Structure 1
Amino acid sequence: MGRASRKDDILQAALACFSEFGVDATTIEMIRDRSGASIGSLYHHFGNRERIIGALYLEGVGQYAAMLEAGLAQDMGAESCIKLFVTCYIDWVMANPDWARFVLHNRGRVEHSEMGDELREANRQQGRRIAELLRMHREAGALRDMPLELFNSVVIGPTHDFVRNWLAGRTRIELKDCRDLLAQIAWESVRA
């Protein structure tokens, strides 16, 4: 595995600062000190602190999307597909709890920032891919017919709620212990 780029170093330093001090309390100087980058390098790669926040958010959701896409690239039936939505999400959160907390708490901030259009486009692209896959399974009679917006809430909603509680330390049950049960619940909720 190759060495991380300066840009990646800065993003990881930013995540560490945001996790330790909070997004609003973290300054560009704190990120510079943690990353070892010069102010010039920070501004060269990102331009300002808000763009660091946006880039970190997009990188996090991009990692999850890539993990999901790798699974969806396999030819799978409807049940495996639906369960994959849940298990990929849980696997990414367990591997990246600080990043997951950051993503959960900063979506609105990024949506309303200068990087909002980039986030919306990434979501549109992934949404189109998923909608096509679901359409094929629905036409094959494997999935119950419902609006796509509702479908996402039914499949991921219970998992998302439990993940938020787990990340906040409000549950004694480990996330990994709920992974298969949440995936099964998602499948049972949408199968025809």
Structure 2
Amino acid sequence: MSPKQHRGEVTSDLLLDAALRVFVTSGEQGLTVNAVVRESGVSLGSLYHHFGSLDGLIGALSHRWLDRLLGELTGALQGADGARAGVAGAVRAYLAFVQEHPGPALLLHSPLADRKGMARGREFRDAQEARVSEVARWIQLGIDAGELAPLPAPLIESLLMGPVVAVARRSLSGIDDVDLDEAARLLPDRIWRSVGA
């Protein structure tokens, strides 16, 4: 990597990290170009050079953390011995991500992310195609092996992740009535009842 490329990568990282800090401390309303520039110490021109707009910066930040979350999920699925263990591993991996990375988890579960996802869902899915394909392959292998219910893969994915996402959102919203460790213990069996063959 050339020195110029390295500087560009460092600048991008500074902007992404600053955007996350601003979002966590000030919310969506506080996430402005000026706030990110002030927090990062990077010039306004650099933000536009690297990301094109605030929307581009937010998209890159979301992709960065979504890729990491999906990487942990696919690792849990693929490292498991059988579909039932994969379900348990995915639930634990997702909830552990929320506990270990509350700021990024808050961003990924925010109304901002929902709006972006609804408006640009296909683009976001395409950007994560490798990870999404790994999950789809794991589901198909489970169906073919007779371990997972013979349902369309998107339905199995929804049955698997829907309850986990709901619990994560509840926890991240500040409602203090969900224990994520308890959820990680209880949800796998309940979810397995809906997706197991």
Normalising TM by the smaller chain, what interval?
A: 0.7 to 0.9
Unaligned runs of 5+ in 1: none
Q: Classify 1:140/1:166 alpha carbon distance in 2 versus 1 (closer, same or farther; 3 Å).
A: same
Contact 1:57 1:110 (8 Å CA) reproduced: no
Would you say 1:171 and 2:176 are equivalent positions?
A: yes
Counterparts of 2:108 and 2:169, CA distance in 1: 11
| Deviation by residue 1:122-179 (Cα, 9 ceiling, x = unmatched) | 3443332222221112111111111222212211111211111111122323212321
Taking structure 1 as the reference length, what is the TM-score of the superposition? 0.86
Name the CA distance, whole Å, in 2 between partners of 1:65 and 1:127: 8
Does structure 1 conserve the Cα–Cα contact (< 8 Å) formed by 2:167 and 2:178?
no
Cα-Cα RMSD: 2.2
Q: Does 1:21 align with 2:26?
A: yes
The answer to whether the 8 Å contact 2:142/2:148 transfers is: yes
- Amino acid across the alignment from 2:10: S
Measured after TM superposition, the shift of residue 58 of structure 1 is 0.7
Q: 1:107 aligns with which of 113, 118, 124?
A: 113
Which of 149, 153, 159 is matched with 1:148 structurally? 153
1:1-192 alignment to 2 at 5 Å?
5-74=10-79, 76-105=81-110, 106-111=112-117, 118-192=123-197
Tell which deviates more after alignment, 163-172 or 74-83: 74-83
Contact 2:63 2:124 in 1 (8 A): yes
Specify which structure has the higher proportion of helix.
2
Count how many residue pairs are aligned between Structure 1 and Structure 2.
Answer: 188
What percentage of aligned pairs have identical amino acids?
Answer: 30
Tell me the equivalent position of 2:6.
Answer: none
Distance 1:44 1:116, change over 3 A: farther
Q: CA deviation at 1:94?
A: 1.0
Change (3 A) 1:75 1:88: closer
- Does structure 2 retain, via aligned residues, the 8 Å contact 1:53–1:110? no
Stretches of structure 2 lacking an aligned partner (at least 5 in a row): 1-8
Alpha-carbon distance in structure 1 between the residues aligned to 2:169 and 2:118: 22
Counterpart amino acid of residue 184 in structure 1: D
Distance 1:99 1:27 in 2: 17
- Which whole-Å CA distance do the structure 1 matches of 2:93 and 2:33 have between them? 32
d(CA) in 2 for partners of 1:112 and 1:174? Answer: 29
